[in-house]
Amino acid sequence: MLEFSQQIINGLTLGSIYALIAIGYTMVYGIIGMINFAHGEIYMISAYIGLITITALTVQFGVENVPLILLFTLAVSILITSAYGWTIERVAYRPLRGSPRLIPLISAIGMSIFLQNYVQIGQGARDLSMQPLISGGWRFGPEDGFQVYLSYMQVLIAVVTVLFMTALTLFIARSRLGRACRACSQDLTMTNLLGIDTNRVISLTFVLGAALAAVAGVLISLYIGKINPFIGFEAGIKAFTAAVLGGIGSIPGAMLGGVILGLAESFASAYLLTEYKDVVAFSLLVLVLLFRPTGLLGKPEIEKV
């Protein structure tokens, strides 16, 4: 039972990161119906910014206040990464607005390869690593038996994720811009006709998605502590799977999908074999799509006439 709860903790931590990235995929899809394959790279870039900022603060300037380092790093990372998100949309997708669906998709793949190589040239193709900023945690269970370990870092990941998800949900549900976002996802042309600057809303979507990926990137560089220019690809595929699993286009779906995927991977390594964790995760996706083609929380797409 104790092992089981430890595996749940492991899975939830992983799932939170997936969910944060998955939201970027699902929001863009919900509004312009395209898959932004460069999103994984945004996450990778933010992991680099996170690692560089933290190292600069601790080593260069000798800052020791951990909450301050965290807040500053998150702010810097969100700012720069959002700028990347905005620029990518501007450069790679906006000129292709209105063209057949396949064309922005190819542009996205090109963007992803470009960003990977760009970081590889700028930062080198080797692994960068960092020692944990936050260590320690709580232990539960018998002194001489199996102890469940909940690290401060895992709690931080969960808290930050919930915080940003709540903020996003409130923003989408309550604010004017959020309402415009929802309107765009229902009918882009009609929203445009009603006098809303849809290009601005689409830019905003990319910025929001990038900001959440930035949070995920900073958290991962803190939690795992080893990054390279290729981490975006795998994380991107996983997060995309999470978005599809939950129902692409649905924000709560992306959150749910991320958590389910994280738990599935964790349980597969625990009760089957570690090498089967991806097999289990993707089989789950196939099964869900077989029985619910729109994903767990997705709504079927109605052909607009």
Partner 1 sequence: MNSFNRHVLSAAISAILLGLGGMAQAKDVIKIAVAGPITGPVAQYGDMQMMGAQMAVEQLNAKGGVDGKQLEAVLIDDVCEPKQAVAVANQIVNDKIKYVVGHLCSGSTQPASKIYEDEGILMITPAATNPAITQQGYKMVFRTIGTDDQQGPTAGDYIADQIKPKQMAVIHDKQQYGQGIAEEVKKTVEAKGVKVAMFEGVNKGQTDFSALCTKMKSENIDFVYYGGYHPELGLILRQCREQGFDAGFMGPEGVGNKDISAIAGPASEGLLVTLPADFSADPANADLVKAFKEKNQDPSGPFVMPAYSAVQIIADAIKGAKTEDPVKLADYIHKHSFNTPIGKVAFKENGDLKEFQFVVFEWHADATKTPVK
Q: Which residues bind partner 1 (CB under 8 A)?
A: 2-3, 6-7, 10-11, 13-14, 120, 124-127, 129, 131-132, 135, 137, 139, 146-147, 149, 151, 220, 224-226, 228, 230-231, 234, 265-270, 273-275, 277-278
Residue (172 or 237) nearer to partner 1, CB: 237
CB of 1 to partner 1, least distance (A): 11
- Residue 11, φ and ψ in degrees, nearest 5: -65, -40
Which element (helix H / strand E) includes 39? helix 39-55
Which element (helix H / strand E) includes 282? helix 277-291
Question: DSSP string covering 88-141, please?
Answer: HIIIIIGGGTTS-THHHHHHHHHHHHHHHHHHHHHH-SS-EE---SS--EEEES
Residue (126 or 304) nearer to partner 1, CB: 126
Residue (104 or 258) nearer to partner 1, CB: 258
| d(C-alpha 188, C-alpha 201), whole Å | 10
CB of 154 to partner 1, least distance (A): 9
Residue (36 or 266) nearer to partner 1, CB: 266
CB of 142 to partner 1, least distance (A): 13
Residue (114 or 149) nearer to partner 1, CB: 149
Residue (3 or 197) nearer to partner 1, CB: 3
Residue (14 or 208) nearer to partner 1, CB: 14
| d(C-alpha 240, C-alpha 237), whole Å | 5
CB of 181 to partner 1, least distance (A): 32
| d(C-alpha 78, C-alpha 168), whole Å | 14
CB of 129 to partner 1, least distance (A): 5
CB of 179 to partner 1, least distance (A): 38
| d(C-alpha 168, C-alpha 162), whole Å | 10
78 three-state secondary structure: helix
CA distances from 115 to 32, 87, 131, 171, 276 (A): 22, 12, 26, 29, 30
72 three-state secondary structure: helix
CB of 295 to partner 1, least distance (A): 24
Residue (33 or 141) nearer to partner 1, CB: 141
| d(C-alpha 4, C-alpha 43), whole Å | 30
CB of 5 to partner 1, least distance (A): 10
Which element (helix H / strand E) includes 220? helix 198-223
Bridge partners, 138 (sequence order): 150
Bridge partners, 150 (sequence order): 138
| d(C-alpha 285, C-alpha 278), whole Å | 11
